[in-house]
Amino acid sequence: MMDAHSLDHVAIVVADLAESEHLYARLGFDVRYRERIEEQGVDIVGIRAGDNTIELLKPLDNNSALQRFLGDRRSKLHHVAYRVTDIEQELARLKSEHVPLIDEIPRRGAHGSRIAFIHPSFSGGTLIELCEPPNDKMETWSEDDSELFLRYGRAFTPDWENLRSMFVRLIPPLPSGGPTVCVEISAGSGWLSEAILLHDDRTHVIALDGSHAMLAATADRLAGLKDRFETRHFDLADLRWLDSLPANVHAVVSSLALHHLEDPQKRAVYAALFEKIAPGGALLIADLVQPLNPVEQAAFADAWDDAVKRQSLDLFGDGRAYDAFCSERWNYFRYPDPVDKPARLPDMQRWLQASGFEDVDVFWEHAGHVLVGGFKKASASR
C-alpha cells in the first residue's frame, strides 16, 4: 500500500543541469546524489530537501520524449513521486481498481529505487510515480559489510599504500612534553592506527568503530602494542561520542567513514574536533567525494574499478577481491546507495576552514577518493 503522507520526490526536467544545480545551491540546498540511467536516457541530480528530494532530470537525447516534453523551456515540472513499501503489491491493487498504468512492471529508478508510473489521464494531467526505495537493511552498515571489508578492504581502497604513507607523513611531530594521543574515527582493521603507533613510539591511539568485528580485528592487529592503544565502540551518527574524547588530542584521523554522515553532521564533526585538537595538531580525513558532474562520476567509477582489479591481482594473485567488489556493487560512483553520502570536495575544504583549521589542502587523491585536512596553529583559538 502507498504510505500515508509519503511524498518521495518532485521531478523537474531541465535544459541545463549545472545551471539548475547552481540555482538550488544559491537557495541553500545540497546535492544528495548524481546518477545516469542509460536505459531511460536521463541524467539525474537529486537535491536534498529535508527528508524529501527534488530530482533534476536532463534528457540525454535531444529527440527523446523527455526532451519533447521540455520543449524550448529551461525547466518544467515532470512528475510527483509517492513512496510505497511494496511496489508489486501496490501495482496489483491499482490494476484491480482499474487505475490506468504506464508501467505494470517496475523499472529501475534513481539511487537504487524501483519505480512505476500511473497514466496522467487518471489525475487530470499530472504524472504520478510510485517509488519503492532500497530495502531499509541497505541503509545501514552491517556486520556482513564489516566482514567483507576486513577480508578485502585493502584491495577496495584505491592506492592504499600511498594513502597510508601520506597519512603518517602529515601528522605533525609530537611536541616535547605535549599531547601524545591520536584518535582514529572508524578504525576498521586497524591498519592506520598501527602505522601511527609504529611511526612514533610515544604515540597513544584511541581507535573508535561502530562494528564489534572491526574493533576485534583492530585489537588483534595491535596486540603487540597493547599499552599504547584503546578501542571504543561508538555510533558515528550519534554525535555525543565527540563529548567523550579527551581534550588536547594531537591529531584526529579518519579513513573512509565520514561519508556515512549527512552534510550538516560532517560540518558539526569538523567544528567539534577543532575544539578537541591541541594547538599544533591536525585533522586528516580520507574519504569519497561527491562528483561535480556525470562525466567526473563516470571517470571516478572506471578508475576505482581499475584500482581494485590491479590490487586484487597484487594481493591475492587473482581477481577474487575484484569479483567481490563487483558482485557486492561496492563502487559508489557506479552504484549510488543510501549508505554513502559523500560531500563535494569544495564543501569539505570550506567547512574545515570555517571550523578554524588553517593550511587546508588536498594531500592525496585517487579514483574519487581524497585525503583532505587542515592544521590548528600553535596559537589558534576560535
Query: What domains sit in the chain, N to C, each tagged with a CATH number?
Result: 2-133 (3.10.180.10), 143-375 (3.40.50.150)
pLDDT given at position 116: 93
pLDDT given at position 135: 59
| Pairwise CA distance, residues 226 & 221, whole Å | 10
In single-letter form, the type of residue at position 300 comes to F
The sheet carrying 52-59 orders its strands as 30-37, 42-49, 52-59, 2-14, 75-84, 128-132, 114-118, 107-108
pLDDT given at position 137: 39
Q: Per-residue confidence of the chain (382 residues) as pLDDT tens digits?
A: 555 458 999 999 999 999 999 999 899 888 887 887 777 889 898 898 887 899 999 999 988 999 999 999 999 999 999 999 888 899 999 999 999 999 988 887 876 688 999 999 999 999 999 998 865 434 566 778 888 999 999 999 999 999 999 999 999 999 888 778 999 999 999 999 999 999 999 999 999 999 999 999 999 999 998 789 999 999 998 899 999 999 999 999 999 999 999 888 999 999 999 999 999 999 999 999 999 888 899 999 999 999 999 999 999 999 999 999 998 889 999 888 777 889 999 999 999 999 999 999 999 999 999 999 999 998 644 4
Contacts of 229 (CB under 8 A, 6+ apart): 193, 197, 204, 205, 206, 207, 222
Give buried/exposed letters for 308-344 (b at 16+ CB in 10 A, else e).
Answer: bbebbeeeeeeeebbebbbeeebbbbbebebbbbbbb
